[in-house]
């Protein structure tokens, strides 16, 4: 879950480079998904919930602005790694 667009050549860009490296290293053994430009704060809850409902089992929330929502989602979803 990215705070900005992947083409920003900054914080989000580098997180996406890491995601792509994981896919390259592990190949078909791993599937990644991402959502870019997610507003910090309460709006992040819906994105996290949507990812969980879609079957995502590990979520990286890449901004401190997502902390409260991430902690709450982790409490409610102990089988998902945050």
Residues 6 or more apart in contact with residue 11 via CB below 8 angstroms: 3, 4, 62
Structure tokens at 12: 């989000």
34-78 confidence digits (pLDDT tens): 999 999 999 999 999 999 999 999 999 999 999 999 999 999 999
How far from 23 is each of 10, 11, 32, 59, 61, CA to CA, in Å? 20, 19, 7, 15, 18
Of 70, 68, 63, 80, the C-alpha closest to 4 is: 63
Predicted TM-score of the model (pTM): 0.89
2-28 confidence digits (pLDDT tens): 999 999 889 999 999 999 999 999 999
């Amino acid at each position: 879950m990215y705070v900005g667009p992947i083409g920003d050549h900054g914080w989000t860009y580098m997180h996406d480079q890491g995601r792509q490296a994981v896919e390259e290293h592990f190949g078909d053994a791993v599937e990644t998904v991402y959502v870019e430009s997610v507003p910090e704060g309460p709006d992040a809850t819906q994105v996290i919930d949507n990812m969980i409902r879609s079957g995502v089992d590990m979520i990286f929330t890449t901004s401190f602005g997502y902390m409260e929502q991430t902690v709450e989602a982790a409490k409610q979803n102990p089988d998902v790694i945050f």
